[in-house]
Amino acid sequence: MARINAGQRVRLVDTEGNEAVDTFFFNAEDPRERYSAVDTVRRQRNVYLTTGTELVSNEDRTLLTIVDDTCGRHDTLGGACASESNTVRYAHDRKFMHSCRDNFLLALLNWNEDFSKRDLGPNINFFMNVPLSADGGLRFADGISGPGKYVELVAHMDVLILISNCPQLNNPCSGFNPTPVEFLLWDA
């Protein structure tokens, strides 16, 4: 969790490629206002995030805009992995694997105990490839990112960024090999 002030830029770099970076945002002044995947999709009439995408809040305001993207496409419908969904999707013995939900909850509660699970909604999965099909399907596919690819955003208001570099080992979202991502923040 980190604060990004209005006008500042943030860059996430997929250093070794094929990573998934689960990311969520709050209005820093009013955390009841948060990133909304469905409002983002609805406003741009497209399910994939890339350069030009405005990240929209649950109050229909722009939190940040994606201003550069060398990957080309990012997901916002797959959500964050959790012991619960891993158990449903894979097997009961996956319950104790590390997950983005664990990362999210720990970071939120360490930041401020006014936060709880209720404050989470569907997040962004930067660098993750979740194609939707014309017949209504959705799947987690091999990544289209590569070493050194990055996405860059500019903040339109003071926001909190919540990041979990996805530890998922059950599907190809992190290439079955979670690797580091670089987080850069600067005054534009």
- Structure-token pair, residue 20: 């998934």
The verdict on 169 binding another protein (CB under 8 A) reads: no
Per-residue x/- mask for another protein, residues 111 to 130, rule CB under 8 A?
Answer: -----xxxx-xx-------x
Nearest distance, CB of residue 185 and another protein, angstroms: 27
* CA 50 to each of CA 8, 88, 159: distance values in angstroms, whole numbers, following the listed order: 19, 30, 20
CA distance 95 to 21: 21
Question: Is there a contact between 143 and 47 (Cβ–Cβ < 8 Å)?
Answer: no
Nearer to another protein, 42 or 112 (CB): 42
The verdict on 10 binding another protein (CB under 8 A) reads: no
Per-residue x/- mask for another protein, residues 74 to 113, rule CB under 8 A?
Answer: ---xxxx-x-xx-xxx------------------------
Please pick, from the candidates 38, 91, 106, 184, the single residue that binds another protein as defined by CB under 8 A: 38
* Piece of 9-17, 43-51, 142-150, 156-164 that binds another protein (CB under 8 A): 43-51
Residue whose C-alpha is closest to residue 168's, from 75, 86, 88: 86
Overall size of the chain counted in residues: 188
Residue whose C-alpha is closest to residue 22's, from 1, 51, 52, 44: 1
Nearer to another protein, 135 or 187 (CB): 135
Per-residue x/- mask for another protein, residues 134 to 163, rule CB under 8 A?
Answer: x-xxxxx-----------------------
Question: Is there a contact between 12 and 150 (Cβ–Cβ < 8 Å)?
Answer: yes
* Kind and range of the H or E run holding 87: helix 83-89
Nearer to another protein, 97 or 185 (CB): 97
Question: Is there a contact between 181 and 93 (Cβ–Cβ < 8 Å)?
Answer: no
Q: What residues make contact with another protein under the rule CB under 8 A?
A: 32, 36-39, 41-42, 45-48, 58, 60, 73, 77-80, 82, 84-85, 87-89, 116-119, 121-122, 130, 132-134, 136-140
